[in-house]
Amino acid sequence: MTDLSISDELADRIDARVEHTDFESPAEYAEFVLSEVVTRVERDSESGEPSETSREGVEDRLQSLGYLEE
């Protein structure tokens, strides 16, 4: 693990957001936020938005396995 320092002011603001959630600490919250930001930036530099197209045959596969709603 690597330590990062933040201001008391920011820590207090995160504390307020963490209350009533499952985040066990402000550090866990901060890690969630930072991870999401970094992942999004990395993805944007890779391939942009996820593919919206589906190959012909995917619907058949899903139907054959009972995944499609009637």
Interface ranges with other proteins (CB under 8 A): 17, 20-23, 32-33, 35-37, 39-41, 43-44, 49-69
Nearest approach, Cβ of residue 1 and other proteins (Å): 11
51 CA to centre of own chain: 18
Sign of CA dihedral 13, 17, 20, 25: negative
CB atoms closer than 10 angstroms to residue 29: 16
Q: Which is nearer to other proteins, 9 or 55 (CB)?
A: 55
For residue 29 the two structure tokens come to: 């919250």
Q: How far is the CB of 54 from other proteins (least distance, A)?
A: 5
Q: In this complex, which beta carbon is closest to other proteins, that of residue 25 or of residue 39? A: 39
